[in-house]
Amino acid sequence: MLVLVLSLGAPGSMIGFDYARTFNPEHRQGSAVGLVNMSGFLVTLIVALAIGVVLDAAGGYTPEAFRLAWSVQYMVWVVAGFGVWSTRQRARRELAAEGTVVTPVREVIARRRNRGRP
């Protein structure tokens, strides 16, 4: 499970870069992309620090302490997932207001499955 979730990091950061480029004026794009880039690394450092603090508070390097410490990142994943979901909704509304309709993923997948079938 951990490998699966961690493998989403690179595609997830690309979504952040795309939002920064799409929804910011041209004269602010460098700052927006820099903020997206810095935020990912900053959150990683904060999570690593929090894991260390929890390990120290748990009293050592036992398997139970590691289990507890690693659970810190799950809270970050939940917050990040909610952030992606909420900004996705807002981005779709803004794009629809501009006349760009984004096809839902489930429809794209259904079309690809049915391609070439009578």
Nearest 5°: the CA angle 110, 8, 36 is 115
Write the pLDDT tens digit of every residue in 68-91. 999 998 998 899 889 888 888 888
b/e 77-114 (16+ beta carbons within 10 angstroms → b): eeebeeeeeeeeeebeeeeeeeeeeeeeeeeeeeeeee
The domain locations on the chain are 12-114
Give the pLDDT score at 116.
Answer: 65
CA 9, 12, 14, 20 torsion-angle sign: negative
pTM: 0.68
- Tell me: pLDDT of 7 over 80: no
Residue 113 token pair: 């499955």
